[in-house]
Structure 1
Amino acid sequence: MTNIKSQSWCWIEKGEPEKLILKDQTVRQLEEQEVLIENSYIGLNPVDWKLISSGGANWKKNHIPGVDGAGIVIKTGNKMKHIQLGTRVCYHADLNKNGSFSTHTITNGKNIIYIPEKVSDSTAAAFPCPCLTAWQSFKKVPDVVNKKVLVSGAGGSVGYFLTQLLIDAGAQVYVTSSKKHHQKFLKMGVLNAVDYNLTDWKNVLLQSINHNSFDIIFDTVSGIHATGLMNMISYYGHMVAIQDRVKENTLPAFTTCISLHEIALGAFHTYASDAQIADLMIQGEKLLNDIGNSKFNLRDLNISDFEQLPRHLAELKNNNSEIKYVIKV
């Protein structure tokens, strides 16, 4: 199999998603630890438009963005011959290398998740970035059983999946989100859902827990937003900042002694050991199995065509992550 041709949405310069250019390319030769995936679906995520806007640290003209995709393995490097051609997989691409916005993607064969039979390719493509991020966030805290937990900004894909993990583990979960999500959250077992558009949403939230404190807060908004919530955490509690890093603990020393946690799924490509990567991929497959068996659910997907990718990425940016787009290749 030589001279495989691909179509790819290429990054030319910092700016809006509409500046991506569709180009025909020849797929390069694989290195020994790599596999070539023929994509069937591509998942769009906020990190995609953010990097298109700012440019990745190692990005050059004609870089292919995109972190999430799903398809079949059509070629393997010499050290990946154990992976059967035609195997259905999904993946989270290394941000420093060409990604999923293409008909074909090359990735390290160690970084793929096998798609269970009950899970569609479209669901699998929507899975890696938000759900593995939610899983890593969930695992930062040693014990959530019967703990009062707040998921701040739960309406996005990460918060939506994280909320389900927490409820399943026995946490007492409260969320903030736009009002349109409230009934769905309450139906899944959230104790109270508060609209973050209210001017006094913090007070409304604290009233629901009798003006006590939360044991754990997961914030999906920003580092600044997370910092503003730290005084709502109880003694020896936890702040898990998913969207950004909390640079310092602004609370007085030797008081509530809360722990600060940062999350960066994409860093596993550079910093995780082979054992850690293998564990993350295995966990990903288990979670996909749970989705296939209806234990957990993804947000409703909006599926569109490959030619519409830049437009939908711009809509994702302008709608502040309220829509989950999946692109059919």
Structure 2
Amino acid sequence: MTAVHLVGHGGLDKLVVRNDVAVCQPGPGEVLVNVTAAGMNNTDINTRTGWYNKQVSSGTTAEGGKSGFGVAEKGMGDWEGGLTFPRIQGADAVGYIVAVGKGVDASRIGERVVCDPYIRDPEDVEGFDSAGFLGSEHDGAFAQFTTVPSVNAVSIPKDFPLSDAALATLPCSGGTAMNMLSMAGAKAGDLAVVTGASGGVGTFLVQILKALGATAIAVAGKSKIADVSKLGADHVIDRETPDLVSAVLEITGGRNLSLVADVVGGDQFPDLLKLLRRGGRYVTAGAIGGPKVDLDLRTLYLKNLSLFGSTVYLRDTFPRLIDLVVSGRIKPFSTKSWPLDQIHAAQSEFFEKKHVGSLVLLPPKVEA
């Protein structure tokens, strides 16, 4: 099959397109998925570049994405899983089940599926200790075929009107947004700010908050304000606004926020905490603006704040996300698709952050 091998931490040269990779076979309890679309996301790129290593202190820059961060090992940082090379990356798998392993009902063959990227021991109730990630501990979607546990392959109606490319934005970007808001207890009536609102995760954060009945104040680049507004954001603030606190408080009439959903981090972190009311919640799943932040512990405890870090999905995160999509309450925002063998060009465009929503890779079609 055609697949992309990650052969080490580093730049785009570490992604090698091959056409002679053996087709994987489903083990007990697994299904074989013919991948028809694979989303691109920061997680796969950060893994390749070694950005999770604690020695890296910058944000996720375009230059770092193209050339890497000079990390040869320990590129997964505090993520406790194991990464061996070569590895087929790709957390976002959509396609059709074409074979099943022992113990899986053969009637599943032919199902259209979107795959939950977190693979874990069913006996692990929380799922944190045993969690592995598709494209990290397990070969993923940057290939014509991949295998996942049957429980991870979630059926989508074949006549569901969204394209496979649109569905491929769900596993990582959509799941990350859903998990962030689940962990932080997002609910109707919340007054929330979303940073990085034009990105893959941000576009889902805005939509999910609105679906839950919250007020969403989005922060995005000036050229993307119109598109983010179309997603349903109540207000959109230019990210270059010199005084974010004043801009938000002007919108809210002086009221502080109950929730901040942040994927940027960096220098604006203290202002985001300043905006929270007493008892407010802050949740993050990224740091594209920089991982090192200034935290005054007095702000944290005097305001009774709760801070949440989100990576491994809660058990109900993915089902909740799929329900919102199938019911039509949120809609994936896929901007452009690329052939899988053009992954270098596709990721180069991804780094530039000029798009809204997600970019998607399309493996070669499999002849019947």
TM category, shorter: 0.7 to 0.9
C-alpha separation in 2, matches of 1:287 and 1:59: 33
C-alpha separation in 2, matches of 1:123 and 1:156: 14
Q: Kindly tell me: are residues 168 and 181 of structure 1, through their superposed partners in 2, closer, same or farther at Cα, counting changes over 3 Å?
A: same
C-alpha separation in 2, matches of 1:108 and 1:73: 11
Q: Could you tell me how far 1:83 is from its partner in structure 2?
A: 5.1
After TM superposition, the structure 1 stretch with the greater mean CA deviation from structure 2, 157-166 or 56-65, is 56-65
Cα displacement string for residues 128-172 of structure 1 (whole angstroms, at most 9, x for unaligned residues): 111111111222243532232111221112111111121222212
* Structure 2: runs of 5+ lacking an equivalent: 51-74, 118-132, 364-368
Partner of 1:88: 112
C-alpha separation in 1, matches of 2:294 and 2:215: 28
Partner of 1:204: 247
Cα displacement string for residues 183-220 of structure 1 (whole angstroms, at most 9, x for unaligned residues): 23434543321111222233222222233311111111
Contact 2:335 2:356 in 1 (8 A): no
| SS of equivalent residue, structure 2 residue 302 | coil
Partner of 2:26: 30
C-alpha separation in 2, matches of 1:323 and 1:144: 23
C-alpha separation in 2, matches of 1:285 and 1:152: 23
Of the three residues 301, 304, 309, the one matched with 2:335 is 301
Partner of 1:146: 189
Of the three residues 254, 258, 273, the one matched with 2:305 is 258
Partner of 1:3: none
C-alpha separation in 1, matches of 2:175 and 2:359: 17
C-alpha separation in 1, matches of 2:286 and 2:143: 26
| SS of equivalent residue, structure 2 residue 349 | helix
Of the three residues 149, 166, 170, the one matched with 1:108 is 149
Q: Could you tell me how far 1:120 is from its partner in structure 2?
A: 2.1
Match status 1:176 vs 2:219: yes
Give aligned pairs, total: 311
Contact 1:34 1:77 in 2 (8 A): yes
Match status 1:19 vs 2:14: yes
Of the three residues 347, 350, 353, the one matched with 1:316 is 350
C-alpha separation in 1, matches of 2:184 and 2:233: 19
Q: Could you tell me how far 1:262 is from its partner in structure 2?
A: 1.3
Contact 1:16 1:314 in 2 (8 A): no
Contact 2:167 2:332 in 1 (8 A): no
Taking structure 2 as the reference length, the TM-score comes to 0.77
* Structure 1: runs of 5+ lacking an equivalent: 1-5
Partner of 2:359: 325
C-alpha separation in 2, matches of 1:155 and 1:319: 9
| SS of equivalent residue, structure 1 residue 208 | helix
Taking structure 1 as the reference length, the TM-score comes to 0.85
C-alpha separation in 1, matches of 2:188 and 2:320: 20
C-alpha separation in 2, matches of 1:207 and 1:63: 49
Name the Cα RMSD after superposition: 2.5
| SS of equivalent residue, structure 1 residue 312 | helix
After superposition, residues 266-277 of structure 1 pair within 5 angstroms as 267-268=312-313, 276=315
Partner of 1:125: 168
Contact 1:137 1:263 in 2 (8 A): yes
| SS of equivalent residue, structure 1 residue 162 | helix
C-alpha separation in 1, matches of 2:176 and 2:87: 24
| SS of equivalent residue, structure 1 residue 146 | coil
C-alpha separation in 2, matches of 1:125 and 1:300: 8
Contact 1:316 1:322 in 2 (8 A): no
| SS of equivalent residue, structure 2 residue 84 | coil
The residue type paired with residue 89 of structure 1 is V
After TM superposition, the structure 1 stretch with the greater mean CA deviation from structure 2, 172-181 or 241-250, is 241-250
C-alpha separation in 1, matches of 2:300 and 2:184: 21
Q: Percent identity?
A: 21
Q: Could you tell me how far 1:67 is from its partner in structure 2?
A: 0.6
